[in-house]
Structure 1
């Protein structure tokens, strides 16, 4: 018996803690228990604590000498990649947008899903529905609520088919929040949208400069007004796109949200702004002076998450193990553009050089599909040796394939795992002390 390669040990006060990334499990040990485990591993002697050892084995912290953990992960990866029981679509209802964000990675074009694309989507679902157990739809843009009519109409058809075939259906929405009024919230909830992501880049004076309307108008307080409705209907996640320009204003945003009564009603998390130049004149191609690299963002993330927990906009957590990281690597998932063009990655939307086919002939993909389905983190020695592989599985394939953005492919857990585990321990101890 030996120790898992994915264990992380932390000593804090009188206790020893171990987190295993392969299982996502976390255990606290006394000094005596830790010494007993160490004696078992070094000398092969187990004097007592049989129940503790059994628990460590069950949680994959202790493994058989012959256990190949990389092979276990690879099987998990392939099972997720080729899983036909689950079907998912990301649907861009509108590539147009009512915002003018300086770091947007899309080349916005005022286009809405037409009847022909909608009909082809329904034909695709008809082909899939009898062979799947679950169907997930992510509504995306541009700004997807500019195409709300088609979103609602398609949702109704999707739900009807899933109900007929006893298939589990769920949907989420990524929106800038400007059009998310109460009536829209009611309509979306009625169509089984259960999770909504909205972006706020800081307090009003910061956010409005970074995320104005196309006419230059302010957006912050309109979003806040709409969030008061949204939290009654959805699980709301607030994304803060972080770079050097706004990182110091994060706490001011938390104070505003707290003053508006949102404590414990929504979650807030940070996202790295990445300046991608992939050959199209999207705003992000020239937005690079303020960006944080992955390591700097990972360090920033720790303080951000502590603030979020302190203000009631986050919960202490550790990342769990995954099979694959995203739609791009799974065979039974597609991204559908507003004109019916098909992609594998959200970051490819609006880029003609990344189109893999068209919804009207979705089985006739071109050669661009293969680069996504051949992406294999287990062929990368850096990934194979990384403590974060079970929770990352190679991270972002889009960045991994770009020599300029290669370092941004990794989950931040690779860079800050010890600090995140310690922050989790401290939060758990604080909670226990208050009981």
Structure 2
């Protein structure tokens, strides 16, 4: 037996911890057992209990052959990539937006999801339903609530069709939050939208600069979003994404204080998102945003410190990453991104980019060759990914970045860089929970 290539070892005082990214298990052992385990793995006779050895094997921390672990991971990747029992769609109800963010990666246009596109997608769904166990939708934009009528109408159709076919249906919303009034929250909840991501990039003076109204109104957007959040948390599971760069990351705690003052502690989650300058050959605001962006490693350390702070304000919980089959929609065969005019994409980052269109909903069985670049993505052919302990929790990370030489280093999950801090934070949280009974 030998140590798994996916073990992460952490020492804390006289205790030794092993976290395995494949199994997702965390095991505490004594310093004495740790030394005995090292001897055992080096072929030296050691006093190690059969019970501990069994647990190490069950948790995949000791394996017969490291290469077998990669073979199992690859098999799971292929199974997840080709899963025929689940279908997922990201649907752009409006490529237009009421915000004018200077870092946006989309080339927006004021287009609402057409009726023809809705009918064609329902025909596609009807074809798939007999083979499905579940169907999920992410409502996306632009700003999806600008296309709320289409969102609600399609949702009603999805619910009716899925109930008739005995297929589970659920949905998530990605929104700037400006139009998330209480009536809309109720309408969404009634249509199986249980989660929403809302963007807030700092306290008012920061957020209003980074996420202004497209109309040019000087009133700002922050106060209205906060007002909406007060009732939204009663209907939806809300997560706040704080997009950060070199200029605003230091003000993130100020945002937490404002959320706390508005009675939102413990009612929603807050996390950081890293702004990345993307230039995919079309004119977008993001292409000129490069001077402000943090590197992945810089962001990982800021993220770790922020999560400690967010936990103090009750806007985050300590958790360890789970092993995944595939990283995202882009590489899975049974998932698609539907544009407002019926154009099809594989990646969220491609929305609005005619250079990345893989086909059209009116002829969805005949996609062009661009589809294959996504479906052929394979992290196991990347030597750096294969040698990384974090491979099971990211499975190659962002395929869009991985296939772009100038963004290759951005593909990785931050766990690769801040794993020690995150594991220790989880251990401390568990100890505090145990101490408090």
TM-score (structure 1 length as normaliser): 0.98
Equivalent position to 1:321, from 320, 323, 331: 323
Tell me the CA shift for residue 288 of structure 1.
1.3
CA distance in structure 2 between the aligned counterparts of 1:110 and 1:341, rounded to whole angstroms: 15
Aligned residues: 435
- 1:37-186 → structure 2 map (5 Å cutoff): 37-43=37-43, 45=45, 47-65=47-65, 68-186=68-186
Tell me the CA shift for residue 422 of structure 1.
2.0
User: Is residue 274–residue 294 contact of structure 2 (8 Å, CA) maintained in 1?
Assistant: yes
Task: Give the 3-state SS of the residue equivalent to 1:196 in structure 2.
Answer: strand
CA distance in structure 2 between the aligned counterparts of 1:221 and 1:46, rounded to whole angstroms: 64
- Does residue 6 (structure 1) correspond to residue 6 (structure 2)? The answer is yes
Task: Give the 3-state SS of the residue equivalent to 1:404 in structure 2.
Answer: helix
Tell me the CA shift for residue 298 of structure 1.
1.0
For residue 345 of structure 1, what is the aligned residue in structure 2? Answer: 347
Equivalent position to 1:290, from 284, 292, 296: 292
For residue 402 of structure 1, what is the aligned residue in structure 2? Answer: 404
CA distance in structure 2 between the aligned counterparts of 1:290 and 1:252, rounded to whole angstroms: 20
CA distance in structure 1 between the aligned counterparts of 2:43 and 2:69, rounded to whole angstroms: 23
User: Is residue 4–residue 66 contact of structure 2 (8 Å, CA) maintained in 1?
Assistant: no
User: Is residue 33–residue 48 contact of structure 2 (8 Å, CA) maintained in 1?
Assistant: no
For residue 248 of structure 1, what is the aligned residue in structure 2? Answer: 250
Task: Give the 3-state SS of the residue equivalent to 1:334 in structure 2.
Answer: strand
- Does residue 360 (structure 1) correspond to residue 362 (structure 2)? The answer is yes
* Bigger Cα displacement from structure 2, 52-61 vs 128-137: 52-61
User: Is residue 275–residue 284 contact of structure 1 (8 Å, CA) maintained in 2?
Assistant: yes
User: Is residue 36–residue 49 contact of structure 1 (8 Å, CA) maintained in 2?
Assistant: no
CA distance in structure 2 between the aligned counterparts of 1:80 and 1:32, rounded to whole angstroms: 40
User: Is residue 200–residue 220 contact of structure 1 (8 Å, CA) maintained in 2?
Assistant: yes
Cα deviation digits, residues 96-152 of structure 1 (max 9, x gap): 000000000001100001110000010000000000111010000000000001101
Tell me the CA shift for residue 36 of structure 1.
3.5
For residue 266 of structure 2, what is the aligned residue in structure 1? Answer: 264
CA distance in structure 2 between the aligned counterparts of 1:398 and 1:155, rounded to whole angstroms: 29
Q: Which runs of 4+ in 1 moved over 6 A?
A: none
- 1:209-248 → structure 2 map (5 Å cutoff): 209-217=209-217, 218-248=220-250
User: Is residue 37–residue 48 contact of structure 2 (8 Å, CA) maintained in 1?
Assistant: no
TM-score (structure 2 length as normaliser): 0.97
For residue 380 of structure 2, what is the aligned residue in structure 1? Answer: 378
For residue 432 of structure 1, what is the aligned residue in structure 2? Answer: 434
CA distance in structure 2 between the aligned counterparts of 1:80 and 1:255, rounded to whole angstroms: 40
Tell me the CA shift for residue 229 of structure 1.
1.1
For residue 196 of structure 1, what is the aligned residue in structure 2? Answer: 196
Task: Give the 3-state SS of the residue equivalent to 1:306 in structure 2.
Answer: helix
Tell me the CA shift for residue 67 of structure 1.
5.7
For residue 32 of structure 1, what is the aligned residue in structure 2? Answer: 32
CA distance in structure 2 between the aligned counterparts of 1:202 and 1:49, rounded to whole angstroms: 52
* Bigger Cα displacement from structure 2, 292-301 vs 35-44: 35-44
CA distance in structure 1 between the aligned counterparts of 2:168 and 2:7, rounded to whole angstroms: 35
CA distance in structure 1 between the aligned counterparts of 2:63 and 2:178, rounded to whole angstroms: 51
Cα deviation digits, residues 246-276 of structure 1 (max 9, x gap): 1010110111111111111100111110001
Unmatched segments (≥5 aa) in structure 2 = none
* Bigger Cα displacement from structure 2, 31-40 vs 318-327: 31-40
Cα deviation digits, residues 210-257 of structure 1 (max 9, x gap): 001112331111001111111111111100101111101011011111
Task: Give the 3-state SS of the residue equivalent to 2:9 in structure 1.
Answer: strand
